[in-house]
Amino acid sequence: MIYFDNSSTTKPFREVIESFSKVSSEFFGNPSSLHGLGAQSEKLLSQARDQMAKLLHVQKNEIYFTSGGTESNNIAIKGTALKHKGRGKHLITTEIEHPSVRESMEQLSELGFRVTYVPVDANGVVKVEDIEKAICHDTILVSVMHVNNEIGSVQPIKEIGQLLNQYSKILFHVDYVQGVGKVPLNIHESQIDLCTISGHKFHGLKGTGVLYVREGVRISSLITGGGQEWKLRSGTENVAGMVAMAKALRLTFLEQEKNLNRMVNIRDFLRNKLEMIEGVMIHTPITHSAPHILNFSIKGFKAEVFVHALEEMHVFVSTTSACSSKKQKASNTLLAMGIPEEDALSAIRISLSYENTLDEAEQFIKAVNEAVSRLRKVMN
């Protein structure tokens, strides 16, 4: 099996599963309980929070545990809007955001907020000056993803943060889900107020995530009840999942140090070989792109047909974002870049992990050539 769909989800590290199992079976107490089992769980949760903070180079009290990227994005965007609607109802984002950001904005627009969707260029990169042009007297939030989940374009987060630092009433939210562990991001230097990560994107478990909230920033809670996570996100904490996520992030950063160059070489090999195939168009930009994502189309083929053709050879890739792949609609990201709808409908995404090898890449290219040949015979 060749698994090239790591932007959808990654295979958990063995050590991560072992950690989850141990904590679940031996330290199963509720962290809010007064007895000893609860105290043990609370201590483990605190240690996981401390480790996440150190790995991300932020403060421990700035780490809020959630169920993943979607929840973190919802809390960041809706929590900001609800808390600060008295000083403004204008929000800014881009045309290429993840559905959890875009649909949060759409929901807020139904509640009377105004949303500006800033365009991107042909490489899928937003211009800082376009963000600046969109700012109004009542803007309260700018939300921009770090790495696009479909084509891998890297946004100028630090430059946007420096711009927004001039506006004291505007909070800056960054969806860091696809970038963490692959493309470095200094949260403090980038003047980020709110930042989202998701455990299952770096070999942790599904249902685990973090929302970074800069010290001093106040947003409203969307889930109330027991007052956990400093009253921002109530609900009994997933202690085992958070301990496992902290371990996954530590191991991923070790892999990044050792194997980032190999990942880049594999991506470049795939790009060069795909460009040799008749009808292939590469959508991922050459510069300002992440090392693990490569998006391409093969003219004349529907994406879902090609995905299933590869699957028959035990090769797994995806079409658009995993959250949208079953809708069989053209990618918003590719359309925003000016890609014709017909080509956007045939787009395939390869996404790598540090466990992938050059041998797998070579086998993948053989599989693509075989699938192209077979499907063209059927079409003719």
Indicate the CATH number for domain 2-8+259-379. Answer: 3.90.1150.10
pLDDT in tens, 301-326: 899 999 999 999 999 999 975 454 45
Measured distance CA(180)–CA(131) in Å, rounded: 23
Pairing of strands 293-298, 2-3: unpaired
A 10 A CB-CB count for 62 gives: 22
Mean pLDDT of 182-209: 98
Return the SS3 of 85.
coil
The pLDDT assigned to 81 comes to 98
pLDDT in tens, 92-130: 999 999 999 999 999 999 999 999 999 999 999 999 999
Sheet holding 347-351, edge to edge: 280-282, 293-298, 347-351
Measured distance CA(352)–CA(277) in Å, rounded: 21
pLDDT band at 38 (very low <50, low <70, confident <90, very high): confident
pLDDT in tens, 281-299: 999 999 999 999 999 999 8
Q: pTM above 0.85?
A: yes
- Residue 224 clears pLDDT 70, i.e. is over it: yes
| Structure token digits, residue 51 | 């480790």
Fold matches, 2-8+259-379 and 14-250: no
Mean pLDDT of 11-18: 98
Measured distance CA(47)–CA(65) in Å, rounded: 13
Q: Name the CA radius of gyration of the chain, rounded.
A: 21
Measured distance CA(254)–CA(256) in Å, rounded: 5
Residues carrying an active site annotation: 323
CATH 3.60.15.10 fits 14-250, yes or no: no
- Residue 328 clears pLDDT 70, i.e. is over it: no
Please work out, in degrees rounded to the nearest 5, the angle formed at the alpha carbon of residue 263 by the alpha carbons of 261 and 267: 115
DSSP conformation letters of 160-179: HHHHHTT-TT-EEEEE-TTT
| Structure token digits, residue 93 | 């984002």
In the chain, where the domains are located: 2-8+259-379, 14-250
The pLDDT assigned to 356 comes to 98
Using alpha carbons, select from 23, 108, 17, 68 the residue that is nearest to residue 323. 68
* CA atoms within a 13 Å half-sphere pointing along the CA-CB vector of 316: 14
